């Protein structure tokens, strides 16, 4: 009997050992399979992506983290979307005041026309958002560092610009909402003020290097006035093909009813008193807009680039406020 018990015990131990061995073998096989699957997934995961912007394709890392906003246009898009670029252009080492709070923490990568290539390189950018206004040599140098996308300065491309930033930052739905909200606000404003201003001539004038300039109907802040609010395009603006200087005498001849006058000190360093000189000039004072107190100075921040969602949203709000007083 005792021998039988011993035999049964040995048999049970042997079977248990075999079971443990089989379990260990199974666990090992399972772990190996998992490692193989994970390795396969890692190998299959794309390391790059291709995005299309204004008909051009650009190759970027699969995940974009380090965004360099090397233009004011891209900085405005970042600000309105709540994106924090790793680097941004500055003036005298400081972020533009109107964007400083939104872009706080961004490293200075130099001036908008003279980016610091060494600084940009040290930030290891996944993408550099430049400007379509760059000179060829600047664009070439940036492309040597990484993929540089020349963000358009043309106002009519504002939706594409904002969606580009939305794609890069994972905020496509937010970008779409901003666009939809702006269009709804513009339609509402148009219905409110277009009829009362249909016979009025409205000009947007920018003071630069001590002179006054006007722009084509689809450039700078003009699309808000003529496209979105539906006001008529003055004959002079319709004939303007690019940024064009306008004299006080010519301005008096066309005699606009309303003027949005934009003046930025840093663009007029040689003539800091030019704004006061213009406003006090007897010829300027003879214009209907001046006589009727319809001159609006810096309705939106004078550094605003015009052709961005940030510029359009803020200028629309300011323009409607001024025009409905």
What CATH number did the domain enclosing 237 receive? 3.40.50.1980
What's the rounded mean pLDDT across residues 165-186? 98
**Are 103 and 211 in a shared domain?**
no
pLDDT at position 20: 52
Residue 7 confidence (pLDDT): 43
Q: Is the pLDDT of residue 128 over 90?
A: yes
Q: Examine the pLDDT at 169 and tell me if it is beyond 90.
A: yes
For residue 58, what are the β-bridge partners? 51
Domain match, 203 and 249 both:
yes
Same domain assignment for residues 197 and 115: no
Which pLDDT does position 26 carry in this prediction?
A: 53
Q: Is the pLDDT of residue 6 over 80?
A: no
Sheet strand arrangement including 148-151? 107-108, 87-88, 67-69, 127-131, 148-151
Q: Which of 237, 276, 279 is nearest to 256 (CA)?
A: 237
200 and 319 together in one domain: yes
Q: Indicate whether 218 and 115 sit together in one domain.
A: no
Distance CA 74, CA 191 (A): 31
* Rounded average pLDDT over 90-108: 94
- Is residue 113 scored above 90 in pLDDT? no
pLDDT digits (tens, 9 = 90+) for 235-271: 999 999 999 999 999 999 999 999 999 999 989 999 9
Is 231 in contact with 202 (CB distance < 8 Å)?
Answer: yes
d(CA 257, CA 288): 5
Mean pLDDT value of segment 287-305: 97
Q: Which domain covers residue 308, as residue numbers?
A: 189-323
Rounded to a whole number of angstroms, the distance between the first and last alpha carbons of the chain is 112
Residue 35 confidence (pLDDT): 60
* pLDDT for position 30: 62
Q: 173, 229 in Cβ contact below 8 A?
A: no
Q: What are phi and psi of 291, to 5 degrees?
A: -65, -30
Residues 62 and 140 in one domain: yes
Highest mean pLDDT among 119-123, 133-137, 151-155, 195-199: 119-123
Cα separation, 170 vs 168, in Å, equals 6
User: Within this chain, do residues 136 and 217 fall inside the same structural domain, yes or no?
Assistant: no
Would residue 312 count as lying in a domain?
A: yes
3: pLDDT strictly greater than 90: no
Ordered alpha helix ranges (H), 170-306: 172-193, 222-223, 235-239, 248-254, 274-280, 282-285, 288-291
pLDDT band with cut points at 50, 70 and 90 for residue 287: very high
Mean pLDDT of the 296-309 span: 96
Q: Decide if pLDDT at 71 tops 50.
A: yes
pLDDT of residue 90: 93
In a domain, 96, yes or no: yes
pTM recorded for the entire structure: 0.85
- Please count the structural domains in the chain: 2
Query: Does 39 fall in a domain?
Result: no
Edge-to-edge strands, sheet with 295-297: 244-245, 211-214, 202-208, 258-263, 295-297
Residue 64, both tokens: 């974009």
Model confidence pLDDT, tens digit, residues 14-66: 444 445 555 545 555 566 666 666 655 556 678 999 999 999 999 999 999 99
pLDDT of residue 91: 85
pLDDT in tens, 183-235: 999 999 999 898 899 899 999 999 999 999 999 999 999 999 999 999 999 99
Are residues 216 and 274 located together in one domain of the fold? yes
Same-domain status, 297 and 210? yes
Residues 132 and 154: beta-carbon distance below 8 Å:
yes
pLDDT of res. 139 = 95
Q: Answer whether residue 166 is part of any domain.
A: no
Is 159 contained in some domain? no
């Amino acid at each position: 009997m005792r021998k039988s018990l011993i035999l049964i015990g040995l048999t049970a131990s042997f079977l248990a050992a075999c079971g443990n061995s089989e379990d260990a073998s199974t666990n090992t096989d399972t772990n190996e399979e998992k490692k193989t699957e994970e390795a396969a997934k890692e190998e299959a995961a794309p390391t790059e992506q291709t995005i299309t912007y204004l008909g051009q394709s650009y190759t970027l890392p699969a995940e974009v983290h380090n965004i360099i906003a090397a233009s004011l246009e891209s900085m405005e898009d970042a600000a309105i979307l709540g994106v924090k670029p790793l680097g941004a252009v500055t003036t005298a080492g400081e972020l533009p005041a109107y964007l400083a709070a939104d872009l706080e923490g961004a490293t200075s990568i130099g001036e908008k026309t003279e980016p610091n290539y060494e600084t940009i390189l040290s930030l290891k950018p996944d993408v550099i958002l430049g400007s379509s206004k760059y000179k060829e040599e600047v664009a070439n140098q940036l492309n040597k560092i990484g993929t540089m996308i020349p963000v358009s300065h043309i106002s009519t491309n504002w939706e594409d610009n904002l969606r580009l930033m939305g794609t890069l930052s994972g905020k496509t739905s937010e970008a779409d909402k901003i666009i939809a909200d702006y269009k709804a606000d513009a339609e509402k404003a148009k219905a409110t003020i277009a009829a009362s201003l249909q016979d009025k001539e409205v000009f947007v004038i920018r003071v630069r290097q001590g002179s006054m300039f006007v722009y084509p109907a689809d450039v700078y802040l003009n699309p808000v006035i003529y496209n979105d609010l539906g006001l008529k395009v003055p004959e002079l603006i319709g004939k303007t093909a690019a940024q064009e200087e306008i004299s006080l005498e010519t301005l008096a001849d066309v005699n606009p009813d309303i003027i949005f006058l934009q003046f930025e000190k840093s663009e007029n360093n040689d003539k800091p008193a030019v704004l006061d000189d213009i406003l006090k000039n007897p010829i300027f004072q003879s214009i209907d807009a001046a006589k009727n107190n319809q001159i609006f100075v810096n309705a939106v921040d004078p550094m605003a680039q015009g052709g961005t969602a940030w510029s359009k949203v803020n200028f629309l709000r300011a323009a409607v406020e001024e025009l409905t007083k």
